[in-house]
Amino acid sequence: MEKNGKNIPSKSLEEAQKKVSPEQYRHFLEQLELEEIFISKISSELFLNKKYSSKDSVNIEIKIKSYFENIEKYTFGSNVYDIKIKSGNKILLKSKIEITAQFSYKEIPFDENYFKIFDDLSLQMMLFPYARLNINRILADAGLGYLTLPMKKSFFTKNKNQK
């Protein structure tokens, strides 16, 4: 699905894997090169209406959206992280960070199927440490101390009901 020039995968991982064989995907990965990773957008809102101690327990909500754009021989794969950090029912921080990886390719450009597989199996794991680092920096700069966000777990953990 395309929205504002951005390709947002509408298929499930299973649907995409039916259209791209493991051999095709392996060939795709072999010709793909990472050029750079950068923050393409960032915004944060800090709420200091509650006293916060680094000993307080916090709840972290993270929603991730992905999209890609093909421009000439480059693909820009982006993850947008909507993050809320709460202490009790009080919001301490709302942040939105978009981190983008620029890839070049020799033959096979990203399409919706390749991107869905790549995003689920590689891109999210590749970009999440940058989101973690920036949230930690924002909190420290605001005087709220350091908070290490949990590791992004993707296909390494499965629900017990999944086969």
Q: Residue 70: which CATH number?
A: 3.10.420.10
Residue 145 backbone class (left: φ over 0; alpha: ψ -120 to 50; beta: rest): left
Is there a domain that residue 158 lies in? Answer: no
Is there a domain that residue 149 lies in? Answer: no
- Reported as a single tens digit per residue, the pLDDT across 35-62 is 999 999 999 888 866 566 656 677 888 8
Is there a domain that residue 160 lies in? Answer: no
The single-letter DSSP state of residue 25 is H
Of 125, 24, 26, 44, which Cα lies nearest the Cα of 91?
44
Domain that holds residue 133: 2-141
Is there a domain that residue 161 lies in? Answer: no
Is there a domain that residue 51 lies in? Answer: yes
pLDDT at residue 161 tops 80: no
Of 138, 126, 154, 153, which Cα lies nearest the Cα of 85?
138
Q: State the sign of the Cα–Cα–Cα–Cα dihedral 149, 49, 87, 100.
A: negative
Model-level pTM?
Answer: 0.76
Q: How many CA atoms, within 13 angstroms, populate the side-chain half-sphere of residue 22?
A: 0
pLDDT at residue 4 tops 60: no
Is there a domain that residue 148 lies in? Answer: no
Is there a domain that residue 162 lies in? Answer: no
The H-or-E segment that residue 46 falls in is strand 32-46
Query: How many domains is the chain partitioned into structurally?
Result: 1
